[in-house]
Chains A and B, each alone.
Chain A
Amino acid sequence: DAKTTQPNSMESNEEEPVHLPCNHSTISGTDYIHWYRQLPSQGPEYVIHGLTSNVNNRMASLAIAEDRKSSTLILHRATLRDAAVYYCILSLLRTGGFKTIFGAGTRLFVKA
């Protein structure tokens, strides 16, 4: 079955880039890769998603390996407000319906 693996925690300095890795070696060809982040006592917040090509938006960039077995979320300049738990998620459409596979998340600490 599909799964994602992320480091438990990472630390960054403010205004430096952050690269958050995710391994999803069991991904299938039509599975989308999503990233969400979650602050304490809040619901997850969408960050970015993609299928095969690298993606950029105002929040972050998503770099997807050529074999799609891993991906990296890139925050170009970390701020204190970026401190959160970041979830790498596979989004699947299978016989029987739609599934989402959440990893355990990476807690990002940002130092001033």
Chain B
Amino acid sequence: DAGITQSPRHKVTETGTPVTLRCHQTENHRYMYWYRQDPGHGLRLIHYSYGVKDTDKGEVSDGYSVSRSKTEDFLLTLESATSSQTSVYFCAISARAGYDEKLFFGSGTQLSVL
């Protein structure tokens, strides 16, 4: 299995509070991604990173920010959590750009915003 660790695995928080999810990889892969998974929507890309301090928006980036200060860590922050951000969040990594490359996914973080 690819060395991807997501933390926390489960999080319950209240509306309006900031939340940070962490993705840590031991594969030294250049690309890292954050997805959310909701019933009926499959997975949707939030943000991705193509190197240290290089990030770009995905399809559902509103309300989320990311940071990547080291190759191995990619952080997803919800500045002020809303109930619509209740979801399962998956981190993924790839050695090259993901459109022609396999992605390796973490085990996910279940986030509940009450």
Q: Hey, which bits of chain A sit against chain B, CB under 8 A?
A: 31-32, 36, 41-46, 49, 51, 87, 89, 91-93, 96-100, 102-105
Q: What is the interface size of chain B, counting residues whose CB is below 8 A from a CB of the partner?
A: 25
Q: A44-B90, A104-B40 are in contact. Are A91 and B107 (CB under 8 A)?
A: no
Is the Cβ of B45 less than 8 Å from the Cβ of A99?
yes
Closest to A48 in B: B102
Whether A91 and B42, one on each chain, are in contact in the complex, defined by CB atoms closer than 8 angstroms, is no
Q: Among A46, A51, A104, point to the contact of B103 (Cβ < 8 A).
A: A46
Known: A103-B42, A104-B42. A98 touches B100 (CB 8 A): no
Residue contact B99 to A43, C-beta cutoff 8 Å: no
Least CB distance, B94 to chain A, in whole angstroms: 9
Q: Residues on B close to A: CB < 8 A?
A: 35, 40-45, 48, 56-59, 90, 92, 97-100, 102-108
Q: Contact check, A98 vs B97: say whether CB atoms are below 8 A apart.
A: yes
Beyond A98-B48, A98-B56, whether A43 also contacts B42 by CB under 8 A is no
Q: Given the complex, which residues of A lie within 8 Å of B45, measured CB to CB?
A: 98-100
Q: Once bound together, how far apart are the Cα atoms of A87 and B90, in whole Å?
A: 15
Inter-chain contact B43/A44, CB cutoff 8 Å: yes
Question: Which 4 residue pairs spanning A and B have beta carbons closest together?
Answer: A102-B42, A43-B105, A46-B102, A91-B99
Enumerate chain B residues within 8 angstroms of A87, measured Cβ to Cβ: 42-43
Q: A32 and B99 in contact (CB under 8 A), knowing A43-B90, A44-B105, A99-B58?
A: yes
Minimum Cβ distance to chain A for residue B27 (Å): 14
- List the A side residues contacting B58 at CB < 8 Å: 97-100
Contact B107 A43 (CB under 8 A): yes
A97-B56, A97-B57 as given contacts; A32 in contact with B100, CB under 8 Å: yes
Q: Least Cβ distance of B112 to chain A in Å?
A: 15
Which A residues touch B56, using CB under 8 A? 97-98
Residues in chain B near residue A93, CB distance under 8 A: 97, 99
Contact of A91 among B100, B104, B105, B106 (CB under 8 A): B100
